Amino acid sequence: MKKLEEKMIQAINNKQNFKNTNTEVKIIKNCVFVFLYSTIIFASVQGKKYFSDGGYKTITTGSRLRALGTGYSINDKKNLCKLTPQNKIYKMYLNTLFS
């Protein structure tokens, strides 16, 4: 796991906002959202975890998702992670932000 990913996980566990280069953790009303660039790749809302690659099957996206504890692979046949569509995960973010 990369140092940046270790800091990302630490921020999630401590419920702290964090930003470093292309990765950001936002804590909003006890919910957690992880952004890779402008794509939400992880959400923890009401105790449930959601994962998304946003359609970007990149090495970086895969690395972040695996650091978050998924069995993600950019190869669809090897992917063990249930992904949430980006529009659904973004709606969760907006609902949390504006509720």
Domain residue spans in the chain?
Answer: 3-89
pTM check: above 0.85 = yes
What is the distance between the alpha carbons of residues 38 and 69, in angstroms, rounded to a whole number? 21
Q: Sign of torsion, CA 78 86 44 33?
A: positive
pLDDT exceeding 70 applies to what percent of the chain? 100
What integer is the mean pLDDT of 53-66?
94
Query: pLDDT tens-digit profile of 65-92?
Result: 999 999 999 888 898 999 999 999 999 9
